[in-house]
Structure 1
Amino acid sequence: MKIIIVGAGEVGYNIASRLASESKQVVVIERNPDLARVLFEDLDVQVIEGSGSSPTVLSRAGIQDTDILLAVTDSDEINLTACLVTNLLSPSTKKLARIRNTDFDSFHEIFKTQIPYINTIINPEIEVVKTIRRLVDIPQALDTGDFADGKVRYTGIRIDGDSVMAGMHLKDFHERFGATRPLIAAIVRKDEVIVPRGNDSIYPGDLVYFVSHADQLKDTLKIFGIKVTPIQSALIVGGGRIGARLATQMENEGIKTRLIESDKARCLELAEQMDKTVVLHGDGSDQNLFLEENLNQIDAVISVTDDDETNVLVSLLAKNLGVKNTVTRIGKSSYYPFLATIGIEKVVSPRLSAVSSILQNVRQGKVLSDISIFGERGEFIQAVALETSDITNRPLKDLNMPKGALLVCIIRNGDIIIPTGESVVTPGDQIILFTVKQAVKKMEKLLTVKLEFF
């Protein structure tokens, strides 16, 4: 598979790194010579300096024999133009464009269905807002997402010493919890992602990712000692695109929302846009402002400014003032290893959302969605089981699953099946798998063609 990436910013760099590590042929086009040089020095990819919207540059990159074009610059206009020019030069190339401007929101489906030069629109900010809404409704959840049109949920929970699960073997879950037992897909322990087996145990301090029916999530959370209580009030710090989207959604849901923005002109603009949201002009990291707003009476504080340091400081201030439910936007991947040590665990990232959206379009097999977790060290993959796949027509216990991979759910005719060793995947089933980064290549092969060994 050959992939051309237009743009070597945070998203372009990270997706290039990810795909190159999976031995895909990657070409990156970047007009900024400094970014191009960094990419050339850091990664095993071909780098071409120039504009990704130029027919000459795209031809030089080999667009005619390229499977996928990913246009992920910071400019919506350049991304759209790159897809248009690609369609003229190589109509068979699949084209993905990152478009973030809210003015384009109502045109996404038109782009994909009526305009032939774009196959997929990527807007990570929309996905970030969805993730934030799910996270704030479960204060103890550190990560959460869904599959199969919301019918299946995954959730990440930190295990404390009082948990009934502390010290238990996974093989004992069925006897202890019965049909409502959570299927543990991954355990994060001391910065290591573990795909567990029956003999593995859960210990206090573990971050546990489990999968459950969405309509049984509340019952499953009770096993963890968690009660879901929808929030009534929220404070959003940062009035950019994410903050504005989130505030609009929350006020439409009847949540009492306040939004702090440091730019006065932007405050005036937001005040005109919002109906019930209270827009405040000020510095979100100002403790005095927090005290004036009676922060300890607010259910959730969400910091989504464009500055990582400000977001971290806001969350720490909120926690210090007694707010347990905080969500922090982080852009720099280098920050992830240190956040948990200072108490910042509920983190959202537009970059990671963009990478997840892109991965589902470049994975082999019929992949429907691909979600990265824990700094991209693991992936949930939702796919359709093909007739040619080695995963079909045999009990799961007889499959030669790659080390570091686990099938966590089968969806058949709308029914959700949490599998056991006796379960059999049939062609046409939707399946959800979890895999660590190192096992992705073998998992792709398992999803596409029959194999005798790995």
Structure 2
Amino acid sequence: MNIIIAGAGRVGYRLASTLSHRHNVTIIDQRAAALQQLQESIDVFTIAGNIENPDTYLPLKNRRFDIFIAVTDSDEANILSTLIAGDFIDADTKIIRLKNPYFADSTIAGKLGISSAVFPFSSAARSISALLDYPQANNVKSFIYSPFQMVSVYVESAPETGIPVAEFVHETCVVVGLERAKHFTLPDAESVLYRGDLVYFFGDPDTIRAYCARLNPAVPDRISRVAIFDAGLLGLEIAKALIPRGIKLKIIDKHLEKCERASELLQEHASVINSHYIEHTLFDNEHAGRADMAIFTSEEDEENIIRCLEAKEHGIPRTVAINNDIERYGLMHSLGIIPMRGPKSSAYYAILEAIGSSSIISERHYCGGRGIIYSRKIFSDSPMLEKMLPPPDPKRCRSFLLRDNLLLPWVAKLQLHEEDVLFVFLDAENEEAMKRWIYTL
């Protein structure tokens, strides 16, 4: 495909680096140094210019592109560039990154002809909110065509001989991933879970909750008090996502003006504290140490890690660190910290998933990006309806058919019925081959 990316920041750079392996990528930015760095490391075509200036798009005039992506840090620049690009180029799909949650409920996307709008701050907030349904878990993913979810949890309670994966294989739940010593695998029925493993379950929420409680019994069954450190846009979005759940919230920030804004926005729904929270006395004097969960939302991973460790020392059982740099993901896990994708990482994966998905096929990524999930629903007009379909290569993936809220292992030919949903779980290394397979069924 031919793809244009407006903005060569962290998100634009990662997208260009990933997409350029299989597509023709053009990236636009007014920073010559950023474009030079791109050209030195990946094979892309660059245009130096302001994405808000119509003259920048003249070299592309009347050319056809499959996808136009606007991913700068400015909502205004992304919106304007999408409008201008629409006058100069023919793009089948337009994807835009927006920070302001107002646009999610407005009609602006339709007016601009935007195919997909990505709201990374809101997405990160929803991911954290989902953890409240699984207090022992590290990450929760939902799927468009199914009530089943994928949930990861650390194995904190297990005998030295481990626990056979077969004990967790059920008609409503299966194990679909395992991380051990920073290595990701797709376990089979012969695999064994040991203490320190991060295991991924896919299935019915009630069954998964029971498994999580078994593997991590020391964590309370309910999170009722949460402390959010930093009253910036992300912290406020997290607070707004948690308020409907009746959570007792404390918002802590060292900047008075941010605290005043948070107090005005959240009012009686949260206690807002203006404090230099690097002081250890904060956990005692402001009772922040009584929280069931502490969330640290700095743009610096190192700061989030240090604050999480301090919170753990003061007895807070669950600590969440916004993970801005994928290189810090493994370190956070090893320290018992819950890493949650930051807005930039959320935008990156959401855009990849939007590109890889269609009206009938959904693409999701495991937390950390080491695995991929494809799902495909069988509609009434599907050409596969009532056909006998052989399974994909079991060496490359684990595959299941979800029918009537029961999981059928896809190990032999299956006849497909209306409303069936195919789920395929794979290592990221097999992405290209499995994507070709599921799209050509």
TM-score for the superposition, normalised by structure 1 = 0.86
Q: Does 1:417 align with 2:406?
A: yes
Q: Assess if the C-alpha contact under 8 Å between 1:296 and 1:322 holds in 2.
A: yes
- Structure-1 residue corresponding to 2:11: 11
> CA 1:173 to 1:142, structure 2 compared with 1: closer, same or farther past 3 Å?
closer
> CA 1:348 to 1:121, structure 2 compared with 1: closer, same or farther past 3 Å?
same
> CA 1:343 to 1:224, structure 2 compared with 1: closer, same or farther past 3 Å?
closer
**TM alignment of 1:109-258, pairs within 5 A:** 110-113=107-110, 115-148=111-144, 151-162=147-158, 166-170=162-166, 173-174=168-169, 178-180=170-172, 182-224=173-215, 226=217, 229-258=221-250
**TM alignment of 1:365-404, pairs within 5 A:** 366=359, 369-384=362-377, 393-394=387-388, 398-401=390-393, 403-404=395-396
Q: Assess if the C-alpha contact under 8 Å between 2:136 and 2:212 holds in 1.
A: no
Q: Does 1:26 align with 2:25?
A: yes
> CA 1:89 to 1:62, structure 2 compared with 1: closer, same or farther past 3 Å?
closer
**Displacement of 1:238:** 0.7
Q: Does 1:436 align with 2:430?
A: no
Counterpart amino acid of 1:258? K
Across the aligned residues of Structure 1 and Structure 2, the Cα RMSD in angstroms comes to 2.9
Moved more, 87-96 or 9-18: 87-96
Counterpart amino acid of 1:239? A
Q: Per-residue displacement from partner, 1:385-437 (whole Å, max 9, x unpaired)?
A: 58899999345xx4242743222453x5xx33312235544576433322222
- Structure-2 residue corresponding to 1:271: 263
- Give me the whole-angstrom Cα distance separating, in 2, the residues matched to 1:403 and 1:61: 44
Q: Per-residue displacement from partner, 1:347-396 (whole Å, max 9, x unpaired)?
A: 3322222122212221165465433224222122333458899999345x
Q: Assess if the C-alpha contact under 8 Å between 2:311 and 2:319 holds in 1.
A: yes
- Give me the whole-angstrom Cα distance separating, in 2, the residues matched to 1:150 and 1:365: 16
> CA 1:429 to 1:31, structure 2 compared with 1: closer, same or farther past 3 Å?
farther
**Displacement of 1:69:** 0.6
- Give me the whole-angstrom Cα distance separating, in 1, the residues matched to 2:334 and 2:241: 32
Q: Assess if the C-alpha contact under 8 Å between 1:357 and 1:369 holds in 2.
A: no
Three-state SS of the structure 2 residue aligned to 1:301 is strand
- Give me the whole-angstrom Cα distance separating, in 2, the residues matched to 1:313 and 1:234: 18
Three-state SS of the structure 2 residue aligned to 1:336 is helix
- Give me the whole-angstrom Cα distance separating, in 2, the residues matched to 1:48 and 1:206: 46
Counterpart amino acid of 1:231? I
- Give me the whole-angstrom Cα distance separating, in 1, the residues matched to 2:384 and 2:430: 16
**Displacement of 1:260:** 0.7
Three-state SS of the structure 1 residue aligned to 2:192 is coil
- Give me the whole-angstrom Cα distance separating, in 1, the residues matched to 2:48 and 2:88: 19
- Give me the whole-angstrom Cα distance separating, in 1, the residues matched to 2:145 and 2:250: 30
Counterpart amino acid of 1:111? I
> CA 1:59 to 1:298, structure 2 compared with 1: closer, same or farther past 3 Å?
same
Count residues in correspondence.
436
Which segments of 5 or more consecutive residues in structure 2 lack a partner in the other structure?
none
- Structure-2 residue corresponding to 1:358: 351
Three-state SS of the structure 2 residue aligned to 1:93 is strand
Three-state SS of the structure 2 residue aligned to 1:142 is strand
**Displacement of 1:106:** 3.0
Three-state SS of the structure 2 residue aligned to 1:327 is strand
Q: Assess if the C-alpha contact under 8 Å between 1:150 and 1:214 holds in 2.
A: no
Counterpart amino acid of 1:20? S
Q: Assess if the C-alpha contact under 8 Å between 1:147 and 1:153 holds in 2.
A: yes
Moved more, 242-251 or 333-342: 333-342
Moved more, 244-253 or 50-59: 50-59
**Displacement of 1:228:** 7.0
- Give me the whole-angstrom Cα distance separating, in 2, the residues matched to 1:121 and 1:345: 27
**Displacement of 1:5:** 0.9
Counterpart amino acid of 2:63? Q
TM-score for the superposition, normalised by structure 2 = 0.89
**Displacement of 1:242:** 1.4
- Give me the whole-angstrom Cα distance separating, in 1, the residues matched to 2:2 and 2:293: 44
- Give me the whole-angstrom Cα distance separating, in 2, the residues matched to 1:353 and 1:367: 22
Q: Assess if the C-alpha contact under 8 Å between 1:2 and 1:67 holds in 2.
A: yes
> CA 1:283 to 1:159, structure 2 compared with 1: closer, same or farther past 3 Å?
same
Three-state SS of the structure 1 residue aligned to 2:17 is helix
- Give me the whole-angstrom Cα distance separating, in 2, the residues matched to 1:289 and 1:150: 43
Counterpart amino acid of 1:302? I
Counterpart amino acid of 2:355? V
> CA 1:163 to 1:358, structure 2 compared with 1: closer, same or farther past 3 Å?
farther
**TM alignment of 1:291-306, pairs within 5 A:** 291-306=284-299
> CA 1:34 to 1:257, structure 2 compared with 1: closer, same or farther past 3 Å?
same
**Displacement of 1:278:** 0.9
Q: Per-residue displacement from partner, 1:304-338 (whole Å, max 9, x unpaired)?
A: 13333322222111011111111111212232233
> CA 1:165 to 1:125, structure 2 compared with 1: closer, same or farther past 3 Å?
farther
- Give me the whole-angstrom Cα distance separating, in 1, the residues matched to 2:331 and 2:151: 21
**Displacement of 1:129:** 0.6
Q: Assess if the C-alpha contact under 8 Å between 1:139 and 1:324 holds in 2.
A: no
Q: Per-residue displacement from partner, 1:55-109 (whole Å, max 9, x unpaired)?
A: 34334257722101110001111111111122223354211111102443431xx
> CA 1:139 to 1:63, structure 2 compared with 1: closer, same or farther past 3 Å?
farther
Three-state SS of the structure 2 residue aligned to 1:274 is helix
Counterpart amino acid of 1:329? I
Moved more, 4-13 or 193-202: 193-202
- Structure-2 residue corresponding to 1:45: 44
Q: Assess if the C-alpha contact under 8 Å between 2:64 and 2:91 holds in 1.
A: no
Counterpart amino acid of 1:446? W
Q: Assess if the C-alpha contact under 8 Å between 2:332 and 2:339 holds in 1.
A: no
- Structure-2 residue corresponding to 1:99: 98
Three-state SS of the structure 2 residue aligned to 1:338 is helix
> CA 1:102 to 1:363, structure 2 compared with 1: closer, same or farther past 3 Å?
closer
Moved more, 309-318 or 217-226: 217-226
Q: Assess if the C-alpha contact under 8 Å between 1:365 and 1:383 holds in 2.
A: no
Counterpart amino acid of 2:3? I
> CA 1:307 to 1:286, structure 2 compared with 1: closer, same or farther past 3 Å?
farther
